[in-house]
Structure 1
Amino acid sequence: MKKWYLVSVLCCLILFISCKEESNSKLFVGTFSENGSEGLYSYSFNTKTGKLANKKVEANIKDPSFLAISSNKKHLYAIEKTAEFKGSKGAVIAYEIEKDGLKEINTVGTGGGYPCHVGISEKGDFLAASCYSDGSLSIYKIGENGSLQQNPQYIDHKILDTIKTSRAHASLFTPDGLFTADLGLDAVKRYTYNGDKFVKGNQPSLNLPDGAGPRHFKFGVNEKFLYVINELNSTITVFQRKENGEYISLETKSTLDKDFKGENFCADIHLSKDGRFLYGSNRGENTIVIFKIDKETGKLTLIGRESVQGDWPRNFAIDPSNAFLLVGNQKTNNISVFKRDVEQGTLKFLDEVKLPSPVCLLFLDL
């Protein structure tokens, strides 16, 4: 009797350990409302095997083209293309993340046209929506329950340049304030919070060459280095932070193979969680370019590039385990899954799932 009891206990223990080893994260996917898309989706992602499963429509909304999750993992914010709000061509929807799905908290208009990005402060008290078509920012205060407050601060980039056309594309908060990539002005604009509102920082602009088109950017460890991917001239520019808090340009690297002759538009950029490797997406060449980052200087060394196994990689994401990289290919309606060599930084294609017009991938680490 005791023998069978011990065997049963051992079997249960093995089963328990096996279940614990099956680690899953949740992947949210924003899409363009075309090709049969139903809006905002989710999948479960196995961080051991790299498999996507359990596809679910989380919210039936129009063009949820960008998503952001609060640092406490309690709230998700999604862009929506809508004319519902007076004087606005878009909105931001706040959701509470529940065990069985998303619960809408509230929706607010952006004021500006065609919002394409949202960024949340680390404390979760501010959200910035970047509006592409009229080059503006809408900065919202966030309530304790995750709700977006009315009457956001509105910053108009059109007044900053009378020659170029402003195209605000991405905004990220830092301990210093707020950084915004403006693709049309060829600059990353800086703002600081004065206790009442966001105003121009001491270094109001990080300027890039004419026609560069800065689209997205990421900070290295401790914000010592800043990496900007430029859509229009297919480059990545590295900035270094000086002791006075200002950033200076260090170098600019092409994202394209020297033999590529076609048209290309860069899109997304991410760093591995250990800060050793940088990845950028090429729409046209249809690759993920891979660079190694020098820990001391912040400079980049080209490792190589990998086909995205699709067309028009608008967005991609590294999973919470740091062992996989997933790419949303807008024009071929698929998400490609790659195994990532954490020591070498290289990628190996594993699998794909079909989904209409995926344009934003965002992991929730469960």
Structure 2
Amino acid sequence: MKPLLVLALVMTLYSCNENQNTVPLYIGTYTSGDSEGIYKLNFNTETGMLTNLTLAATIGNPSFIAYSPNQKYMYAVNEADHGTVSSFRITETGHLTLINTVKSFGGAPCHISVNDSGTKLAASNYSGGNIALYDINEDGSLTEASQVFDHNLPNEKSHAHSAQFFKDVLFVADLGRNAMYKYIKNDTDAYTLKDSSFIKMTPNAGPRHFTFTKNADFIYVINEYASTITAAKKTGNTYEVISNTSTLADGFTDRNDCADIHLSNNEEFLYGSNRGENTIAVFRRDLINGNITKIQNASVHGNWPRNFTLSPDGKFLLVANQKSDNISVFKINDNDGTLSFLHDINIPTPVCLLF
């Protein structure tokens, strides 16, 4: 066989192997500086390397992004005083084609989520203090908001920070009202408020983001102001708090604002981000009683870890460091869940990571 033919065959096999080991990672950003919108990187699931940075869509302040369940469409908030929500079609090359944009009906939308059937989207408006619900059409486009839930009171300002669907329930974390809300879908496909305080928060905790086990028997809320994680267990139709655990290392006394939280795929470990201490707090989780025990505070090798994510296979953890303009990659220890820093890559103002 001729040498050039052998080389071509080797390169083809290498390219095929690389493609098999590569998955896309999309990055939401703030665009007040060098960023232009939503970016895309290739992530190697064997090595953890990030390569081939491209601009997937030009859009203002896409600070949170989410897939449709079939991953044919993507949705982004446009975090501004007069906020909007945009829908995109994902092309074969991984670029995003805008479908439509609708009002968020509140200022500074900072989070979105889609239900499992891909028919509803919830947008959380931080400065607007409300949650807007949308119907999703078959072509991935969004209707105008079908419902808007205003949490503001005359003497108490709401900062709705995140909302997630679980079956026919919509859970909401409201940092401003220091409360967790629960909405239930009724027979008309609309949602109605069931409980405005279904988890009892400690004073001035500031619930920001939350995660729950696959069966939603346990919920874990990360609190921005208190730098704690509130763990709650389902009891009947409500949740009973089982613990409030600090995210900070012993002796850390400077300012800290917690941000994001995620469970490992096997639900044995829990991770939370500290902005200020600039760490990921790692917890071991008891699968029976839901209690958590902190085992590590791992430096994020950057500044202000607003959001982080686990790779689809659960082997890596990636952190978006907003103020240092980099994404850090960590290897997750299979046995104890601890993190080992591998490398990082520069990208302007990353604030949301989506595999």
Q: Aligning the two structures, in what range does the TM-score lie when normalised by the shorter sequence?
A: over 0.9
Matched residue, 2:352 = 360
Quick one: structure 1 residues 60 and 18, their matched pair in 2 at CA, closer, same or farther if it must change by over 3 Å? closer
**Structure 1 stretch 42-51 or stretch 70-79: which is displaced more?**
70-79
Aligned to 1:86: none
Structure 2 gaps of 5+ residues are: none
Contact 1:67-1:78 at 8 Å conserved across structures:
yes
- Letter of the aligned partner of 1:94 in structure 2? S
Q: Distance in 2 between matches of 1:329 and 1:179?
A: 27
Q: Are 1:212 and 2:210 matched, yes or no?
A: no
Q: Distance in 1 between matches of 2:197 and 2:343?
A: 44
Matched with 1:256 is: 248
2:60 alignment partner in structure 1: 62
Q: Does the 8 Å contact 2:181/2:195 carry over to 1?
A: no
Which amino acid is 2:295 matched to?
I
Distance 1:117 1:202 in 2: 21
1:25: how far off?
Answer: 0.9
Structure 1 gaps, min length 5:
84-88
- 1:171 aligns with one of 163, 175, 188: 163
Residue 120 of structure 2: aligned partner: 126
Q: CA deviation at 1:302?
A: 1.2
Aligned match of 1:306: 298
Contact 2:24-2:40 at 8 Å conserved across structures: yes
Alpha carbons 2:171, 2:182 under 8 Å: kept? yes
1:150 aligned to 2:148?
no
Q: Which moved more, 1:12-21 or 1:321-330?
A: 12-21
User: For residue 245 of structure 1, what is the aligned residue in structure 2?
Assistant: 237
How many angstroms apart in 2 are the aligned matches of 1:172 and 1:351? Answer: 31
Tell me how far 1:13 sits from its aligned partner.
10
- Normalized against structure 2, the TM-score is what? 0.93
Structure 1 residue 16: deviation in Å? 5.0
**Contact 2:180 2:196 (8 Å CA) reproduced:** no
Q: Percent identity?
A: 45
Which moved further from structure 2: 250-259 or 16-25? 16-25
Q: After superposition, where does 1:1-366 map in structure 2 within 5 Å?
A: 16=13, 19-20=16-17, 22-82=20-80, 89-100=82-93, 101-159=95-153, 162-196=154-188, 197-201=190-194, 205-242=198-235, 244-363=236-355
Q: Name the structure, 1 or 2, with higher relative contact order (CA <8 Å, separation 6+).
A: 1
Would the aligned equivalents of 2:132 and 2:145 in 1 still touch at CA under 8 Å?
no
How far apart in 1 are the matches of 2:291 and 2:168?
23
Number of matched pairs: 349
**One-letter identity of the residue aligned with 1:207:** K
**Cα deviation, residue 202, structure 1:** 5.7
Instruction: Deviation per CA, 1:64-113: give whole Å up to 9, x if none.
Output: 00011111111110111356xxxxx1111101112111111111011111
The answer (yes or no) to whether the contact 1:37–1:356 under 8 Å persists in 2 is: yes
Whole-Å Cα distance in 1 between the matches of residues 196 and 342 of structure 2?
44
TM-score (normalizing by structure 1): 0.91
2:118 aligned counterpart, secondary structure: coil
| 2:203 counterpart SS class | coil
CA RMSD of aligned residues (A): 2.1
SS at match of 1:301: strand
For the residues of structure 2 that align with 1:304 and 1:54, how far apart are their CA atoms? 32
- On the 8 A contact 2:129/2:152 being kept in 1, the answer is yes
4+ residue stretches of structure 1 with deviation over 3 A?
A: 11-22, 202-205
C-alpha distance in 2 between matches for 1:118 and 1:284: 25
Partner SS, residue 152 of structure 2: helix
Structure 1 residues 206 and 263, CA, compared in 2 at 3 Å: closer, same or farther?
A: same
SS of the aligned residue for 2:113 comes to strand
Q: For 1:113, give the aligned amino acid.
A: G
| Residues 149 and 254 of structure 1, relative CA distance in 2, 3 Å threshold | same
Given that residues 191 and 204 in structure 1 are in contact (C-alpha distance below 8 angstroms), is that contact kept between their aligned partners in structure 2?
no
Amino acid at match of 1:358: P
Asked if the contact 1:80/1:90 (under 8 Å) is kept, the reply is yes
CA contact (8 A) 1:230 1:236 kept: yes
